[in-house]
Structure 1
Amino acid sequence: MPLRTDQNWRHGAVMLDSQHTRFALWAPDAQSVSVEFENGPAQALQPEQDGWFVLDAECGAGTRYRYNVALDAQNNLIVPDPASRAQAGDVHGYSMVVDQAGYQWQNTEWQGRPWHEAVIYELHVGALGGYQGVEQRLQHLVDTGITAIELMPIAQFPGDRNWGYDGVLPYAAQSSYGTPDQLKHLIDTAHGLGLAVILDVVYNHFGPDGNYLGAYASHFFRSDKKTPWGDAIDFRRREVHDFFIDNTMMWLQDYRFDGLRFDAVHAIEDPTFLEDLAKHVREVIPADRHVWLTLENEFNEAGRMDQGYDAQWNDDGHNTLHVLLTGETDAYYTDFAEKPTQKLARLLGEGFVYQGESTRHGHARGEPSGHLSPTSFVLFLQNHDQIGNRAFGERLVQLSPPPALQAATALLLLSPMIPLMFMGDEWGASEPFLFFTDFHDELADAVREGRRGEFKDFAAFKDPAKREQIPDPNALKTFEASRPGFDALLLDTDKGQDHRNWLALYKTLLDIRRTELFPRLHGASALGVKVLGDKAVSARWKLGDGSELRIDLNLGTEAVDTDDYAAYRVLHQSHAKSAELSPSATLNPYTAIVSLKLSDVVEEQDEQ
């Protein structure tokens, strides 16, 4: 058999036709490999060049199998397929052959949505009841004005519940959430409603339980480079490089995801992998199909936008706004405690706050980003990290004055940056989102104590007895407490009305974004930001049609002066008395005013 190519074999079990499957395992440290079937005799894979073992076998979809890897005459391992397309149960059990072409897609004409129309709703599939549970919420999201859902990682992890960042089988959709076809049905249904679907993928590490790769493919990792999770993945190896790029293409082609969010790419110890990945996607996916590629990148590498990526998560934006809304300055918020209003002005005008300056650890962070379009940044007030990495998972509705949060929400949903919200934000959910796992024995103990140890630098948890009160990640009740209670919207109480008021605000703001900003966002650029006073700024952007968008935001407790609005049409103001608009403008506390000034060309077209 010739050298491996996409035309002859790929990582894992790939059906050749309805009755035949090709098994391919890269195991350079193995002497021999056989595939063991749950029903039927084992068969030996044939050794090929560069550490590959390959077999064409007579079996079809649903076949359960695992590999018997002989390391030497005395030692062998029984392992799942590292590129398993589905697991019959947990990460340690049988893998399953999947017919990726078997699902009958209904919305075959769907080509996605342009990036500037993205309004992203991040969600945890397990907390919403699996793939079918998420599907039941789609109409609510469409009615709210959401245009895309982003699934937290679904790669198979140990146990039934996990945030998803402990996955060890990147090709297998989590079995406790449903079947591969149920995941495809969710995506198909979303497309029928006009919703794009993004998947969060983790290519920087494997979880601590169920990753056997190092035992028979030690070259998958490099001991000279360390990450917070151990030895770095060695993307310099062609087999490793292809393992993850093939995984990307599986999600985009077989499952028809509309985009991927790549987790913590600053921990990928290879300077070329991300560039190769984006280049491959852009070359293979037809140009008329919208596919979104976004990064979480602590290094604030603005140059990645020239390599085929649409945007990066703007953690600087969240951190700055969180300090302004809550006054918290513990731990990583320390980097945003000094002059937060000036930092707010910089993020609105230039994207990143840190563009090469040193952090509290003394390390330079970031690259200049002012030349980038505002749509190159994903802005959020909270996400899974920022809620879940709090000891008790509180949301901003519990931490910030409500009118201040309402004003910040207007900024989030009506700035030219791409807005992202976390499940439940749109109705002011009060349920926490806690850190949860399903580990056992010594690993469970280590995770629980490690979790509590993370908070020793926070003033509220200096006392070890206080840390003991932090919920146990492995307790089922920790997961159950993290499920948003959508039925609260139906309560005939003041609390229920408060939830409905939040939902009405989100609908109003997103309707403005759809009607006023979507047609104008492509080609937007920043014009400048003026600091009006403590916690108050006025930001302006030139939109793609030449119009000017202006957002005046005051998160402080004192009124401030701002420029008048004579030339602007007000699109939204936090409340009826957000400002005295003339003859001189005063911006009241806890308010946002969003306004638009049409260009001369647009005004002439409107008059005609």
Structure 2
Amino acid sequence: MVARVHPMPHGAELHENGVRFRLWAPGEDRVSIEIDGRPPVHLAREAEGWHELITIGAKPGSLYRYVVSDGLRVPDPASRFQPEDVHGPSEVIDPAAYDWQDADWRGRPWSEAVVYELHIGTFTPEGTFLAAIEKLDHLVAVGVTAIEIMPISDFPGGRNWGYDGVLPYAPDSAYGRPEQLKALVDAAHARGILVLLDVVYNHFGPDGNYLPVYAPQFFTDRHKSPWGAGINFDGAHSRPVRDFVIHNALYWVEEFHLDGLRLDAVHAITDDSEMHVLTELAETLRAAVTDRPLHVVLENEENLATPLRRNEQGEPHHYTAQWNDDVHHVLHVAATGERVGYYEEYHGDTEMLGRALAEGFGFQGQMMGYSGKPRGEPSAELPPGAFVAFAQNHDQIGNRAFGERLSVLAPHATVRAVSAVYLLLPQTPMIFMGEEIGATQPFPFFADFTGDLAEAVRNGRREEFSKFPEFSDPEKRDTIPDPLAESTFLSAKLRWDEIDPGTLDWFTRILNVRRAVILPLLSTLGGHAGHFEVVGDSAVVVTWSVGEQPKLRLQANLSGEAVAGFGDALPHVIWTEGDAPADAPFAAWTVQWSVAA
């Protein structure tokens, strides 16, 4: 039997003398615990605000809650499972009870990653971990080699994007039990699929977070985030806070055998310590996981290249890659012509298009008018794989008022052209669930709050869009889907009975080309490999070379007009989307990829 357990300094842990319960509650002189409905028992108060009890009065399956001084019953912040949601009791879990079948799994290198972002609740009609297993063979057949699961940490209610989680160690019960998540990972590994999980370390959701009650030191007014007080990673009492987050990352990659994590919005994490918590987290993870490649991906609006730097062997010191919003923005603006908000920064800037495709970041220190400050660091020295490229993701679809996919916003030929760019780009491609089957249903924002919070979220979302000219009319704003309505959630579910065979075949064919032709080149393409030339408005030639030798070339006319002047392809054309006649203008929305050999 193969068992995997990550020992933690907090939470409920099985010991030979029973179950050890340990809670950091520096704001409480006395903490009790209620187990299986029996009268509460006091925990011993230890140094530094810790409270502990080891008892034979609990076992796997026992339900427990901590009782703080005013009698409030609260869940364990390190709960491994919440069968009755965030306000209910926590369940004692024996992580060693699951018999892993993937003992021979040694992961896959990042160069092989074709990532598929999915939301468990809307990926299948059932919306569960077990139901997701039934779609893995489909993903393998298309050419997907990695799934990136949107956050699953326990959130209030039965539906949520996942970024309102409040119990970071507990897979949400709406999706299934911890052992069922392990079964999904096991099944993915059996098919050669990497599994990454999106985690949120920049804030806690607005409903169900009891930490301020008994551990107010977990947060600090010295730092602010978009969601309120910052998490205390650098002040007095910050060691248990840092450990809570670092152990959470270790827990997912060790106890659930995940192949990596995607860290949400790290630009919202403020830490003035000598060693930033993100650096400590990355170094701890890499020291702990040595039996397989570990892939840790960032979302970082600041476009910092420093966390992505490589060692002499080309391996990441800390972080593997970053979501490349700039690639999305240049492709989206080219496809739609939109120029509202931050899209204005990319509209009509073909230099930005070429730079993002060739060098990674589009903004590499230039002033960004939208934010009013310089953004980014030079990134050309990084290998292309340090950037995750996409034409759609949950944010860029769901943060629209109606959650429209690109397939609804742009013509078919346009969508194919921009998809042909990012899917064969030497950067790491990421597909948003449903792209490969031609999905047209929306992916709107949804949640399951109640009471005043629900009304505040509902009104806040409509107020957010009031600044856009098309929603200045209150009646128009009232047409925006109610994020709290179950119907909004249901509208996002993939319709597996409406697969477009042509789109599925197209994705399968182009990913076959990536695997056969692009993948063997990736190990040779290091920093400074990419160079670009502007041919016309939204038209570029990008060439990736090894030394002075061109190896891969993209010629792309991402405009609605024919453009001349692309020059020669390399000797072997591997993909053409649109009409690219020799010695003649490229037709609108034409993309051609070629290689030297």
Same fold, TM-score > 0.5, yes or no:
yes
- 2:363 maps to 354
Unaligned runs of 5+ in 1: 1-5, 490-498, 599-608
- 1:289 maps to 292
Task: Indicate the SS of the match to 2:31.
Answer: strand
- Are the aligned partners of 1:331 and 1:457 in contact in 2 as well (CA < 8 Å)? no
Cα offset, 1:7, TM superposition? 11
- 2:281 maps to 277
- 1:395 maps to 405
Cα offset, 1:334, TM superposition? 1.9
Task: Indicate the SS of the match to 2:585.
Answer: strand
- 2:118 maps to 123
- 1:518 maps to 519
Distance 2:168 2:450 in 1: 22
* 545-554 vs 197-206, which moves further: 545-554
Equivalent of 2:75, from 72, 75, 80? Answer: 80
Q: Give the AA of the match of 2:297.
A: T
For the pair 1:60 / 2:65, whether they are aligned, the reply is no
1:203-226 Cα offsets, whole Å, 9 max, x none, are 000000000101111110011211
- 1:478 maps to 488
Distance 1:65 1:571 in 2: 60
- Are the aligned partners of 1:9 and 1:24 in contact in 2 as well (CA < 8 Å)? no
Distance 2:571 2:60 in 1: 61
Task: Indicate the SS of the match to 1:519.
Answer: helix
Distance 1:458 1:320 in 2: 21
Distance 2:285 2:515 in 1: 28
Cα offset, 1:472, TM superposition? 0.8
For the pair 1:108 / 2:107, whether they are aligned, the reply is no
1:509-535 Cα offsets, whole Å, 9 max, x none, are 100111112222124143311111111
- Are the aligned partners of 2:553 and 2:569 in contact in 1 as well (CA < 8 Å)? no
Distance 2:558 2:518 in 1: 23
Equivalent of 2:222, from 224, 232, 238? Answer: 224
Greater than 4 Å deviation, 4+ residue runs:
6-9, 543-547
Distance 2:7 2:147 in 1: 35
Within 5 A, what are the aligned runs for 1:159-178? 159-178=157-176
- 1:95 maps to 90
Label 1:225 to 1:596 Cα distance change in 2 as closer, same or farther (>3 A): same
- 2:26 maps to 28
- 2:503 maps to 502
- 1:492 maps to none
For the pair 1:198 / 2:193, whether they are aligned, the reply is no
Label 1:545 to 1:340 Cα distance change in 2 as closer, same or farther (>3 A): closer
- 1:264 maps to 265
Cα offset, 1:567, TM superposition? 4.3
Distance 2:7 2:530 in 1: 53
Distance 1:299 1:102 in 2: 42
Task: Indicate the SS of the match to 1:531.
Answer: strand
Equivalent of 1:151, from 132, 146, 149? Answer: 149
For the pair 1:49 / 2:47, whether they are aligned, the reply is yes
- Are the aligned partners of 2:364 and 2:379 in contact in 1 as well (CA < 8 Å)? yes
1:71-106 Cα offsets, whole Å, 9 max, x none, are xxxx23210001100002110001011111111111
Label 1:302 to 1:417 Cα distance change in 2 as closer, same or farther (>3 A): same
Cα offset, 1:432, TM superposition? 0.3
Task: Indicate the SS of the match to 1:175.
Answer: coil
For the pair 1:312 / 2:322, whether they are aligned, the reply is yes
> TM-score, normalized by length of structure 2?
0.93
Cα offset, 1:8, TM superposition? 8.6
Cα offset, 1:558, TM superposition? 2.1
Label 1:7 to 1:570 Cα distance change in 2 as closer, same or farther (>3 A): closer
Task: Indicate the SS of the match to 2:342.
Answer: helix
Unaligned runs of 5+ in 2: 310-316
Task: Indicate the SS of the match to 1:528.
Answer: strand
Distance 2:339 2:548 in 1: 40
Q: Give the AA of the match of 1:592.
A: V
Distance 1:512 1:545 in 2: 25
- Are the aligned partners of 1:535 and 1:556 in contact in 2 as well (CA < 8 Å)? yes
- Are the aligned partners of 2:356 and 2:362 in contact in 1 as well (CA < 8 Å)? yes
> TM-score, normalized by length of structure 1?
0.92
- 1:536 maps to 539
- 2:313 maps to none
1:34-88 Cα offsets, whole Å, 9 max, x none, are 1101243432111111000011111221111010011xxxx23210001100002
Task: Indicate the SS of the match to 2:26.
Answer: coil
Distance 1:112 1:527 in 2: 28
Distance 2:8 2:136 in 1: 37
Distance 1:210 1:566 in 2: 58
For the pair 1:570 / 2:552, whether they are aligned, the reply is no
1:85-140 Cα offsets, whole Å, 9 max, x none, are 00021100010111111111112111111001111100110112110121111110
Equivalent of 1:180, from 163, 173, 178? Answer: 178
Distance 1:361 1:170 in 2: 31
- 1:593 maps to 592
RMSD between aligned residues? 1.7
Q: Give the AA of the match of 2:284.
A: H
- 1:605 maps to none
- Are the aligned partners of 1:130 and 1:178 in contact in 2 as well (CA < 8 Å)? yes
Distance 1:433 1:506 in 2: 20
- Are the aligned partners of 1:32 and 1:69 in contact in 2 as well (CA < 8 Å)? yes
Task: Indicate the SS of the match to 1:558.
Answer: coil
Label 1:469 to 1:540 Cα distance change in 2 as closer, same or farther (>3 A): same
Equivalent of 1:381, from 391, 408, 411? Answer: 391
Label 1:358 to 1:527 Cα distance change in 2 as closer, same or farther (>3 A): closer
Label 1:275 to 1:585 Cα distance change in 2 as closer, same or farther (>3 A): farther
Q: Give the AA of the match of 1:277.
A: L
- 1:603 maps to none
Task: Indicate the SS of the match to 1:172.
Answer: strand
Q: Give the AA of the match of 1:30.
A: E
Distance 1:389 1:200 in 2: 18
Task: Indicate the SS of the match to 1:532.
Answer: strand
The size of the alignment, in residue pairs, is: 573
- Are the aligned partners of 1:382 and 1:422 in contact in 2 as well (CA < 8 Å)? yes
Label 1:146 to 1:464 Cα distance change in 2 as closer, same or farther (>3 A): same
Cα offset, 1:544, TM superposition? 10
Q: Give the AA of the match of 2:99.
A: Q
- Are the aligned partners of 1:565 and 1:585 in contact in 2 as well (CA < 8 Å)? no
Distance 1:9 1:398 in 2: 47
